[in-house]
Structure 1
Amino acid sequence: MKAINLKQKHAAFSKLWHPHQIAQVDDMQVILAKIQGEFVWHSHENEDELFQVLKGTLFMQFRDRTEIVKEGEIIVVPRGVEHNPSTKDNEEVHLLLFEKLTTAHTGNVQHAMTQTEYPII
């Protein structure tokens, strides 16, 4: 049991759209990610996702609207809801995610951006 410095952990990697696991809490994982541009439309049939913006502004697209999530804010995407995280103006956004260990990166969608393994840092 040690404190985890999120800034130091984010500084340890540069790859975009590639989640890195920093902790586990029961059957949940705590993930850091850096994103830029647009991801891929997907949903998670059995899992909710929590996104916290640590740096920048996240644009969480849903089919009927886009929610703007600013630094220091969170958004929870309920299971089964199709979504597409994105950023604007080439901004790199730093995220903390909280999700079940069983959550697939892009749900049932297979895409060039899909990651199947999350490095532990």
Structure 2
Amino acid sequence: MESLQRIDLHETSKAVAGSYANVPLNLVNDHIIRISIMTEPFYWHYHPNSDESFLCLEGVLVIDLEGESIELHPGQLFTIPRNVLHKTSPKGGRSVNLTFELEGMETVRNVL
């Protein structure tokens, strides 16, 4: 990741093949920005040392929490505080979103 570079989100998301990709794009201070392309659900998990923000770019991103589900549409942002159990999945065939999180974020897998 180089600084002072233009990143084309549409080109990056088109170039990704497979059912899931989480590609680092850039560092901002001690946080990392990633683009996530999903065609299948990600497992239940939480992050003990970082909040995680999602910005939906394409499709619909479903964020399941223990008591509710949130649907993010393009242009919508949602932040999950640290230690909150969640699972993400695309609604329909594919979703593309940006995530903003601490660079050294830990992910703890959990089974409900």
- Alignment partner of 1:43 out of 17, 42, 46: 46
> Contact 2:44/2:110 (CA < 8 Å) preserved in 1?
no
Task: State the AA in 2 paired with 1:99.
Answer: E
Task: State the AA in 1 paired with 2:24.
Answer: Q
**1:34-56 residue CA offsets vs partner (Å, 9 max, x unmatched):** 11232111100110001111000
Indicate the residue corresponding to 1:95 in structure 2: 97
Q: Sequence identity, in percent?
A: 24
Distance in structure 2 (CA, Å) of the matches to 1:86 and 1:77: 15
> Contact 1:19/1:31 (CA < 8 Å) preserved in 2?
yes
> Do residues 54 (structure 1) and 57 (structure 2) align?
yes
- Alignment partner of 1:73 out of 72, 76, 101: 76
Q: Which segments of 5 or more consecutive residues in structure 1 lack a partner in the other structure? A: 112-121
Q: Which structure features the higher share of strand residues?
A: 2
Give the number of aligned pairs.
108
Indicate the residue corresponding to 2:21 in structure 1: 18
**1:13-35 residue CA offsets vs partner (Å, 9 max, x unmatched):** 22333211111111111101111
> Contact 1:55/1:93 (CA < 8 Å) preserved in 2?
yes
Distance in structure 2 (CA, Å) of the matches to 1:33 and 1:16: 10
Q: Which is worse superposed, 50-59 or 12-21? A: 12-21
> Contact 2:20/2:40 (CA < 8 Å) preserved in 1?
no
Runs of 4+ in 1 over 2 A off after TM superposition: 15-18
SS where residue 83 of structure 2 aligns?
coil
Q: In the TM superposition, what is the alpha-carbon distance from 1:61 to its structure 2 partner?
A: 0.3
SS where residue 63 of structure 2 aligns?
strand
Q: In the TM superposition, what is the alpha-carbon distance from 1:96 to its structure 2 partner?
A: 0.8
Indicate the residue corresponding to 1:108 in structure 2: 108
Q: In the TM superposition, what is the alpha-carbon distance from 1:87 to its structure 2 partner?
A: 1.9
